[in-house]
Amino acid sequence: MSLRRNRKAATLAIQATELAVAAPLVVAHRLSRLALAGGMPAHRDHRELTLMGAEKVAAFHESWNAMLFQSIRIQQDLAAAMWRSFWLSWLSGGAFSALPKIDLPDAALRVMAKGMAPVHRRAVANAKRLSRPGFR
């Protein structure tokens, strides 16, 4: 395993751990806020609950698009490598000495990292914002 892949995997693991800590904190804060509001939530509670729904949808779409475009980039790299391999082997008389060298595990890590980034960014920011002293 390359050093770069190890670093990417470690970064992804750290982000997943931070997300695993931040998400339950945000959920607990918002659920307790909803329970305390009762049947008639205040304007501030309405704003927070509306924000909660809107940012989930936005994070999902952002994550999905980032993963889609990263996958397309990887597929383009694979296609280009295969075409180079085909033409180099054809020009060199049929020897397949230039097979494509694409690091697929690294490509999968890049797709996961692109998908994790928007969700991680929002969850950690919400955990920081909601856990500030005086924020009710």
Q: Are 5 and 102 in contact (CB under 8 A)?
A: no
Distance CA 77, CA 69 (A): 12
Is 127 within 8 Å of 25 (Cβ atoms)? yes
Residue 93 pLDDT greater than 70, yes or no: no
* Start-to-end CA span in the chain (Å): 47
Which residue ranges make up each domain of the chain? 3-130
> What is the model's pLDDT at position 84?
80
Q: At residue 104, does pLDDT exceed 90?
A: no
Q: Which of 10-19, 81-90, 105-114 has the lowest mean pLDDT?
A: 81-90
* Digit-coded pLDDT (tens) for 46-67: 888 888 889 889 999 999 999 9
